[in-house]
Amino acid sequence: MEKRWALILGASSGFGGASAVELAKAGYNIFGVHLDRQATMPIVNQIIKEIEKTGQQAVFFNINAADPIKRNDILDEIKERFIDKDKSLIHVLIHSLAFGTLKPYISKKPEECITPAQMSMTLDVMAHSLVYWTQGLVQRDLLAKNGRIFALTSAGSHTVIPYYGAVSAAKAALEAHIRQLTVELGGMGVTCNAIMAGVTDTPALRKIPGNEKMLSSAKLKNPGGRLTTPEDVAKAIVLLCSEKAAWISGNTIGVDGGEYIVNYTGEKVCKQIK
């Protein structure tokens, strides 16, 4: 019987961590790539425990996912692991890397502006790395036919948030990469979609200046009366992994309870019906 594996880039928290657990519940073994120091390793270990409770395997690598040498090392190791495992392939690839520079573009003081190195790093980690990991999987015959590729984007890909310029550019590029991969991998039956989550209280969001106002505003205008959770997004990803979703590809799919369409934060738009 074919063994299904998911490879999750950014698997230690937020959307990546929740998706790892939810996919394990759905029968996927998990390769997790993350970059954590000792202080946050207990969270990683808890995710691994949750995966193993489902009876699935959890193999995690604590590396910089944007490092080309480390990337090739991990892909080679996955290839080696699969040699002795009949019909094992990567059926799901999730890109949920959130590491970028949050600085304004323009300031009279050069030290306050984003630098070329910071801009390049942000785009490389949060966008271009998806392409390079996909290339590596295909070139090693590790990506399953009819597989699934997901990239986590945000409304910031096409709207302006203070200090978010480089990340916004990365998210826009990420969505463009998804469209291109959709066409180039279509012959394999691989679907590619960007998932645009609503405002979610994650470690990545907490790094954005003014995140408290973002959270309160999102909760106020969301028709569901609450914030999006990582588990909401993870469940949507599992749903899109179904064979019944095989013709959904090349899209940016909102998972936000209708939050994005509401452009008003005064009196609550959607009141509870009694």
**Residue-wise over 136-156: b if at least 16 C-beta within 10 A, else e?**
bbeeeebbbeebbbbbbbbbb
- Using 50, 70 and 90 to split pLDDT, how confident is the model at 169? very high
Position 201 scores a pLDDT of 87
Position 205 scores a pLDDT of 82
Position 162 scores a pLDDT of 87
Q: What is the per-residue DSSP string for 77-130?
A: HHHHHHHTSTT-EEEEEEE---------S--SSGGGSPPHHHHHHHHIIIIIHH
Q: What is the mean pLDDT of residues 127-137?
A: 98
Which of the listed ranges 61-65, 155-159, 206-210, 262-266 does the model predict with the highest average pLDDT? 61-65
155: amino acid identity, one letter: A
pLDDT tens digits for range 85-113: 667 999 999 999 999 899 999 999 999 99
Position 268 scores a pLDDT of 58
Q: How far apart are CA 37 and CA 190, in angstroms?
A: 34
